[in-house]
């Protein structure tokens, strides 16, 4: 578990936050934790970078040479940081959200639906929707910062290639079984579950003009 300090949270806190008074930490005799405004700030920084990386033209993607630390020796590996970040953001969010929260995250943050569309689809009122959005932002903000060994935030450490000497995680019988299952699915031509990724863009609405053009064609 990561230790949070005021020197880190101060810059991320909302100046007029009623909970932390702009300090970013909520402290009492028994506990010390980052304020929710800080966690939401972290999520939004990560989300903005995710959108930037996902919307960027693919022909200007860059590869970078990074130092990878193995147990026995230092290795150099090629990486595509922006694509890795998009994948990490999506997969970490998928792992930490479920049910209704995952639906809201998918519709609102990945597909770009505004609160009206989401409320209509999920049959909830505006207040409940934003209550869920805030909870999602707070939960993911904390996860993005506390993720081990490589967190998604701070962004400069993620993209700057900060390296720590961690031993690779050994494969367990369960993970080996799962890998075999996935390979079998692929061999049979089935779509892997994690490949059903929705495109990141605002939902498109068909206009009357489009319909008229189609009929004319
Ligand atoms: Zn606060």
- What are the pLDDT digits (tens) for 81-100? 888 999 999 999 999 999 99
Q: How far is the CA of 132 from the centre of ligand 1 (A)?
A: 18
With vertex at residue 113, the alpha carbon angle to CA 152 and CA 84, rounded to the nearest 5 degrees, is 25
For 135-181, the DSSP string reads HHHHHHHHHHHH-SSS-S-SHHHHHHT-----PPPPPPHHHHHHHHH
Does 174 or 9 have the greater pLDDT score? Answer: 9
Q: How far is the CA of 35 from the centre of ligand 1 (A)?
A: 5
Q: How far is the CA of 25 from the centre of ligand 1 (A)?
A: 7
pLDDT at 8 over 90: no
Q: How far is the CA of 26 from the centre of ligand 1 (A)?
A: 8
Average pLDDT in the 71-80 region?
71
Q: How far is the CA of 168 from the centre of ligand 1 (A)?
A: 37
Contacts 24+ apart (CB under 8 A), 92-97: 92/140, 92/143, 92/144, 92/147, 92/152, 93/140, 94/194, 96/139, 96/140, 96/143, 97/136, 97/139, 97/140
193 pLDDT band (50/70/90 cuts)? very low
Q: How far is the CA of 182 from the centre of ligand 1 (A)?
A: 44
* Mean pLDDT across the chain: 80
Q: Which of 15-24, 140-149, 182-191 has the lowest mean pLDDT?
A: 182-191
Check residue 199 and give its pLDDT.
41
Check residue 140 and give its pLDDT.
96
pLDDT at 139 over 80: yes
Check residue 148 and give its pLDDT.
86
Q: How far is the CA of 34 from the centre of ligand 1 (A)?
A: 8
- The answer, as to whether pTM is greater than 0.85, is no
Check residue 7 and give its pLDDT.
87
Q: How far is the CA of 169 from the centre of ligand 1 (A)?
A: 36
> Coil, strand, or helix at residue 66?
strand
Distance from chain centroid for Cα 174: 26
User: Which tokens go with 51?
Assistant: 């959108």
Q: How far is the CA of 21 from the centre of ligand 1 (A)?
A: 6
């Amino acid at each position: 578990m990561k230790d949070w300090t005021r020197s880190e949270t101060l810059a991320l806190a909302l100046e007029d936050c009623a909970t932390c008074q702009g300090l970013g930490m909520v402290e009492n005799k028994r506990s010390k934790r980052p304020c929710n405004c800080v966690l939401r700030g972290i999520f939004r920084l990560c989300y903005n970078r995710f959108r930037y990386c996902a919307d960027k033209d693919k022909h200007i993607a860059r590869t970078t040479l990074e130092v990878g630390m193995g147990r026995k020796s230092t290795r150099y590996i090629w990486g595509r940081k922006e694509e890795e970040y998009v994948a990490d953001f999506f997969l970490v969010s998928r792992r930490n959200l479920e049910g209704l929260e995952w639906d809201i995250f998918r519709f609102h943050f990945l597909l770009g639906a505004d609160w009206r569309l989401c409320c209509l689809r999920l049959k909830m009122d505006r207040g409940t929707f934003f209550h869920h959005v805030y909870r999602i932002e707070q939960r993911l903000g904390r996860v993005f910062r506390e993720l081990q060994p490589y967190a998604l935030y701070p962004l400069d450490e993620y993209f700057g290639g900060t390296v720590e000497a961690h031993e690779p995680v050994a494969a367990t019988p369960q993970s080996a079984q799962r890998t075999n299952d996935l390979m079998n699915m692929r061999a049979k031509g089935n779509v892997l579950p994690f490949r059903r990724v929705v495109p990141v863009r605002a939902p498109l609405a068909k206009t009357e003009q489009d319909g008229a053009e189609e009929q004319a064609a």
